[in-house]
Amino acid sequence: MALQTIVQTVARTLAEEMVRDDAVVLLGEDVGKRGGVFLATEGLFDRFGPDRVIDTPLSEAAIIGAAIGMAVHGMRPVAEIQFADYVFPGFDQLVSQAAKLRYRSGGGFSAPMVVRMPAGGGVAGGHHHSQNPESHFVHTPGLQVVYPSTPSDTRGLLRSAVRGQDPVVFMEPKRLYRAVKEELPDDDATIPIGQARLRREGDDVVLISYGASMAETLKAADALAAQGVSADVIDLRSLLPWDQDLVLERVARVGRVVVISEAPRTLSFASEVAATIAEEALDLLEAPPVRVTGFDVPYPYAQDRAYLPGPDRILHAVQRVLDY
């Protein structure tokens, strides 16, 4: 058993997958000698060499395009985008080419590749280093989208992503990179993409979140417990596909739900979850679903923490559904 942070888990899991499969290669800006801007690939260049840990030019289009070419020819590339905000120069390659490859070729080709990207705010990074662009990718059939919040989930899901047959957008909550630690066993377990995790059980309200917002959601659940209110807490972990069965089962049992996401409110993934609940479980609800999200503004620098859906905003939303 080893006590590890999320960022340490990323480096360890990538190393394990590179040992397990010679087809796994890493590429991205500064992933080599430096080990990445967050040190998520620290030590891998010295261990595996420049042919498998590849420093690239500052071109996201080239990084993702090269990864697609590698994947089509039998390799399993893991591409790093230094910040999720910088993925857009390579967006067309990912959503127009990688995501469509299996469909366009009638199953003749696939793109077994992973695009890792640190995402989210709360680190005083301003609007170019703090965004949550997951909805852009969830809206793209052919991609899988993952956004864990713990070291153990990061490990199991990253293994599944690297070993899969389709392109995976693997979003990592950089605010939690070194804020969460877990004991990880020495095993080879994977977590299926599309399977949520019930982090806490309760009878009064269901709280649903993912990524860095899970930390704020659990703080809110602790505060509710101190007030005598018990909350189910669901960590979605995967956004495409997402675990509708678990969500609908728990919401039907409790009847009140709050969905939390850092992304801007309009067309956020929280909106998709809330709409699905309203469509599939309306007669079982005691109150309408409520969303707690970021705001429909560019991510601010000066008001970084005010933008995020913290415990106070979550508690206010819970009170709304309890009072309905």
Query: Catalytic positions, please?
Result: 129
Report, in this order, helix, strand and coil percent for the chain, each rounded to 5: 40, 20, 40
The 3 state secondary structure assigned to 212-281 is CHHHHHHHHHHHHHHCCCCEEEEECCEEECCCHHHHHHHHHHHCCEEEEEEEECCCCHHHHHHHHHHHHH
Q: How far apart are CA 63 and CA 143, in angstroms?
A: 17
Query: What is the length of the chain?
Result: 324
Q: How far apart are CA 89 and CA 212, in angstroms?
A: 25
- HSE-CB at 151 with a 13 A cutoff on CA atoms is 22
Q: What residue has token string 């609940």?
A: 277
Which of 323, 247, 258 is CA-nearest to residue 292? 258
DSSP 108: S
